[in-house]
Amino acid sequence: MMNLGVVELLNNLTILPILFLIFVAPLWLFLHYRSKRQVSQGLSHEQVEQLTVLSGQADTMAKRISVLESLLDHEAPHWRERS
């Protein structure tokens, strides 16, 4: 005959998967497929505009950094070795 503690443990172990299937799995599936749908739709118009602005800012910064590096190369030729 089984001990009462073992029976309670087995009952608890059968409840956990049921709770998972009732509460966690549906939410998990919903969030998973919602994110897949958002990815498949691509970027919105606002996101494309923001990406364009950010890309332009990145290009401007890259040019500025290049100019600053060339000035440093001219003024302090060994500045790269110190960093």
Q: DSSP E strands: which ranges in 12-83?
A: none
CA 48 to chain centre: 19
State the distance between the two ends of the chain, measured CA to CA, in whole angstroms. 75
Taking only the tens place, the pLDDT of each residue in 21-66 is: 999 999 999 999 998 888 878 888 898 999 999 999 999 999 999 9
More confident residue, 69 or 17: 69
| Residue 38 and residue 44 in contact, taking contact as beta carbons nearer than 8 Å | no
Single-letter amino acid, residue 39:
V
Q: Tell me, what's the pLDDT at 16?
A: 81
Predicted TM-score (pTM) of the model is 0.50
